[in-house]
Structure 1
Amino acid sequence: MDFKYEENRIYLESSDGKCIAEITFPSISKNEVNINHTYVDTSLRGQGVANKLITALVNELKKTNKKAYATCSYAIDWFENHPEFDDLYLEDKK
């Protein structure tokens, strides 16, 4: 899967340029982001695309030395099920 990377967004486009999957994570401080949205088009559901998106984001967080809060229910559940990434996840917003 060839995700595209923008500041505060990782996404996948269809061949006609339509966004078919994305995760957004606006900055809330210099070293923190809020994972606020995960979307996967119905044509891709059940294929692990959301997991791949958040894994790509986790890799970006590691590279940039950032940590994340989550207001997106998928991201909250994902971090709860992946305690190996607790060092990147800030459960409670200040």
Structure 2
Amino acid sequence: MTEPLILHQAEQQRFVLQLAGAEAVLDYTVNSNNINFHHTFVPPAFRGKGLAEKLVRHGLAWAKSQQYQLYASCSYVQKFLR
């Protein structure tokens, strides 16, 4: 299986994973040098496949490369910041 393509839609402040007719999404907001990941969504039909984890790891890696201070008001993302 090929790795799913994750798109960074910077204008909408989100990362998107395209699925068969659906999207998994990781939303964030940036305030000066801080980034807050506040929402993760995977359509019910695609849950349990590790897609949210792929999105979160991708988003966090990007944020670290931009040297943002990381925050998460999304409880799922918080698990990755511990």
TM-score, length basis structure 2: 0.82
Q: Distance in 2 between matches of 1:76 and 1:35?
A: 9
Structure 2 spans left out of the alignment, 5+ residues:
none
SS at match of 1:46: coil
SS at match of 2:45: helix
Asked if 1:10 is matched to 2:12, the reply is: no
SS at match of 2:78: helix
With a CA cutoff of 8 Å and minimum separation of 6, indicate the structure with the bigger relative contact order.
2
Q: Distance in 2 between matches of 1:79 and 1:10?
A: 18
More strand by share: 2
Higher gyration radius (CA): 1
Letter matched to residue 24 of structure 1: D
Q: Distance in 1 between matches of 2:37 and 2:57?
A: 12
> What residue is the counterpart of 1:22 in the other structure?
25
Matched pairs, number: 77
Q: Distance in 1 between matches of 2:59 and 2:14?
A: 9
Asked if 1:63 is matched to 2:68, the reply is: no
Aligned residues: CA RMSD: 1.4
How do 1:1-94 residues align onto structure 2 when only pairs under 5 Å count? 1-7=4-10, 8-16=13-21, 18=22, 20-29=23-32, 31-80=33-82
Matched residues, percent identical? Answer: 27
TM-score, length basis structure 1: 0.73
Aligned-pair distance for 1:76? Answer: 1.2
